Chain A
């Protein structure tokens, strides 16, 4: 089966610093990658969708200048949380899809990254 990895699996940082999270598809080419955030006991919230080589599409209410997404290759997308604050502490999950039309394609989820901002 398709495997998606994330790195790091957890990170603790000081308020005001920036944190980069990597998402890699290990055995397939991911045309589309998605970034989610999940607060405790809440559902996944889609933050943004990125297609390789183009700018990410952000969901309403997600600050694109704060959450920088780069999808430079078909196997790697990065999410950088800039000037992180305690309210950014959350579980960040990426997923990948092989096709641009995601309506019928399976998403493969990464294991998630737990971010704690002190």
Chain B
């Protein structure tokens, strides 16, 4: 089993909808989590970090962490075509592990 698993998608949502991206992880990477967005041919850019159970909101983005169930999710509200990208989940316990990424397409 991979240490960080993501549904590779692709995920397609209409413009204005909520996009939900999920990531599960093993105990080994259970300290802190980061969500990155990566446009095709570009390097990743950090969207959110989350360390504690619960929700963390930043603009249209909400990260949710549930350590008991070992999952972390990213919600994108009011999705825009410019949100179309691959979203990478990273688990970090001083030992980084990335998920395979979920490709999101937001259709106008």
Q: Footprint of B on A, CB under 8 Å?
A: 34, 42-46, 91, 93, 101-104, 106-112, 114
Q: Are A43 and B43 in contact (CB under 8 A)?
A: no
Are the C-beta atoms of B93 and A109 separated by less than 8 Å? no
B42 at the interface (CB under 8 A from A): yes
CA distance A109 to B36 in the complex (A): 10
8 Å CB contact of B93 from A93, A103, A108, A114: A103
- Is B25 part of the binding interface, using a Cβ–Cβ cutoff of 8 Å? no
B side interface size, CB within 8 A: 22
Q: Closest A-chain residue to B91, C-beta based?
A: A103
Our pick among B43, B51, B98 for the contact of A104 (Cβ within 8 Å) is B51
Please tell me if the beta carbons of A102 and B43 are within 8 angstroms of each other in the complex: no
Most buried by A among B32, B43, B46, B101: B43
Q: Which of B45, B49, B51, B98 contacts A43 (CB 8 A)?
A: B98
CA distance A108 to B32 in the complex (A): 16
A43-B88, A43-B99, A103-B31 known; A110-B43 Cβ under 8 A: yes
